[in-house]
Amino acid sequence: RRETAKRPSSSVEQDGDGEGWKLKIAIAGAGPSGLLLAHRLIASGLPLEQLDVFESRADPRSSSSSLEGRAYALGLGIRGRTAIKTVDGELWSSVKARGYECERFRLHLSQKLSLQLRGREDGVHPSVLIYQSDLCSALLDELERRAKALETALNVRFNSNIAMANLETSTLSFVSGGVTQESKKYDLLVGCDGANSIVRESIKVYSPPDTFECTKRELLPGCFKVARITSMPPALDADSVALILPKTKSLGITAFVEPTVDGGGCVLFAGRLNSESTSSTDSAELGTILYPDPSIGGREQSSMSDEEVEMIRRLLVEEFPLDGTAGLDDAVRQLLRQRTSVASSVRCNTYNSKSGLTAAAICGDAAHATGGVSGQGANSALVDVATLADCLVKHYQPDDSYSPEAKESMLHQSVLAYSMKAVPEGRALYDLSFGNDGRT
């Protein structure tokens, strides 16, 4: 049975003279980390006047929402699960119900030879495999319900693309419906907006010289595309994650297959841009067909002939144990519709703005992206926002005597404390993924 949430009491909210302490916060990005941060903020007892979340994509729950950018399945391990549970166990239960628990992993060296690299372990909680769209939908459903119960002024703005964050005027410029708009002033800006973060770039632009350092690299020539399938391939263990090497080893493409909820699956095809296969078979064309230049957009449905789809399906079945997979033709069309994705790495020396500017912080891939190499990006992003929320609760402690200077100081103390805790974790993840120089 669900109980109506109750906001923790706050002396500021009970004191009319403390209106100035109330916070106006903007979150860039309504992905998993941005939505979890919104959850933490409305449950924190902090005096919130307005909480706005900006997202360039459509609402993932809408029928018109494109799967591109949300098609892949995330693996939520103990770190991600613990971060979500910092809100409460009910939220985790809502998320878990949308995913699929899986702890097995198999390496397929050929279509007939495979090795189990990981199996069930007693006392170890399995990861939950969940589509990003399903994770965001679960978080959104609960966020809206809880915000309404707590009478929080929450506004999640979909199809709103942030163009600039001005850390001098404390405002955002964003495009919605083809019209550029200027936001109200905010007390705190948080960038959960990915490897191409606008908030991060704004911190860099407005920071004093030689204080904010950030390295961003595209992990070329590696690239990938993702497709959803309605059932796991018959030749694979339906309860195991599978890494599959192609029949033609020189092809340069591997398949990563994850089981998902309701018996479905997610297939990530990883390849290389501008690579010439040394194979003389028809499969040598596969990389060229699947991975056009990333600057070229995805194909329109009308441009895909049945003959072309059948040819690609046949090549995939020849190279990978996918024969008999339900919905494989549709998966081919999904691949053709997608723009080629190229992963990026990001490494920053600090995750906060300096005093004298609007208080701002960056989380997840905006601060420390590894391009999927570590398999911990989503979990780390969720841990980041839980840490930021903890620091805000600890350091934002208004009293009955309002002062703009004290308010600004406490917010900067909060984001600085967050950065000092999160940067070592981000560096460790980056070094684990690439080595100490970031080039290996």
Token readout for 426 is 């981000």
Burial class (CB in 10 A: 0-12, 13-18, 19+), 374: middle
Q: Taking residues 141-154, what's their average pLDDT?
A: 96
Question: Are 28 and 190 spatial neighbours (Cβ–Cβ below 8 Å)?
Answer: yes
Q: Alpha-carbon distance 361 to 388, whole Å?
A: 8
pLDDT at position 370? 86
Beta-carbon contacts of 63 under 8 Å, excluding residues fewer than 6 positions away, are: none
Highest mean pLDDT among 123-132, 168-177, 249-258, 371-380: 168-177
pLDDT at position 434? 79
Rounded to a whole number of angstroms, the CA Rg of the chain reads 23
Cis peptide bond prior to 221, omega within 30° of 0: yes
Residue 221's nearest CA partner among 259, 186, 253, 263 is 253
Listed in order, strand segments (DSSP E) in 185-306 are: 188-191, 214-218, 222-229, 240-244, 254-259, 265-272
Helix H or strand E segment including 180: strand 179-182
Beta-carbon contacts of 274 under 8 Å, excluding residues fewer than 6 positions away, are: 221
Token readout for 138 is 């679960």
Using the predicted structure, report yes or no on whether residue 167 has a pLDDT greater than 90. yes
User: What SS3 state is found at 424?
Assistant: helix
pLDDT at position 90? 98
pLDDT at position 47? 96
HEC string for 316-382: HHHHCCCCCCCCHHHHHHHHHHCCCECCEEEEECCCECCCCCCEEEECCHHHHCECCCCCCHHHHHH
Q: Alpha-carbon distance 87 to 33, whole Å?
A: 13
pLDDT at position 220? 66
Where b means 16+ CB within 10 Å and e means fewer, 218-229 reads: ebeebbbbbbbb
Question: Are 146 and 43 spatial neighbours (Cβ–Cβ below 8 Å)?
Answer: yes
Confidence band (pLDDT; 50, 70, 90) for 62? confident
Question: Are 190 and 388 spatial neighbours (Cβ–Cβ below 8 Å)?
Answer: yes
Using the predicted structure, report yes or no on whether residue 2 has a pLDDT greater than 50. no
Beta-carbon contacts of 110 under 8 Å, excluding residues fewer than 6 positions away, are: 245, 247
Using the predicted structure, report yes or no on whether residue 278 has a pLDDT greater than 60. no
Q: Taking residues 163-187, what's their average pLDDT?
A: 97
Question: Are 90 and 83 spatial neighbours (Cβ–Cβ below 8 Å)?
Answer: no
Using the predicted structure, report yes or no on whether residue 9 has a pLDDT greater than 50. no
pLDDT at position 67? 54
Confidence band (pLDDT; 50, 70, 90) for 6? very low
pLDDT at position 295? 78
Confidence band (pLDDT; 50, 70, 90) for 273? confident
pLDDT at position 359? 98
Q: Alpha-carbon distance 266 to 288, whole Å?
A: 22
The amino acid sitting at 21 is W
Token readout for 166 is 């001005």
pLDDT at position 290? 87
Confidence band (pLDDT; 50, 70, 90) for 84? very high
Q: Alpha-carbon distance 398 to 20, whole Å?
A: 10
Higher pLDDT, 370 or 87: 87
pLDDT at position 247? 92
Beta-carbon count within 10 A of 93 CB: 13
Which residues sit opposite 187 in a β-bridge? none
Burial class (CB in 10 A: 0-12, 13-18, 19+), 216: middle
pLDDT at position 35? 98
Q: Alpha-carbon distance 251 to 281, whole Å?
A: 10
Q: Taking residues 128-151, what's their average pLDDT?
A: 96
Highest mean pLDDT among 23-32, 216-225, 368-377: 23-32
Residue 389's nearest CA partner among 45, 21, 57 is 45
Using the predicted structure, report yes or no on whether residue 294 has a pLDDT greater than 90. no
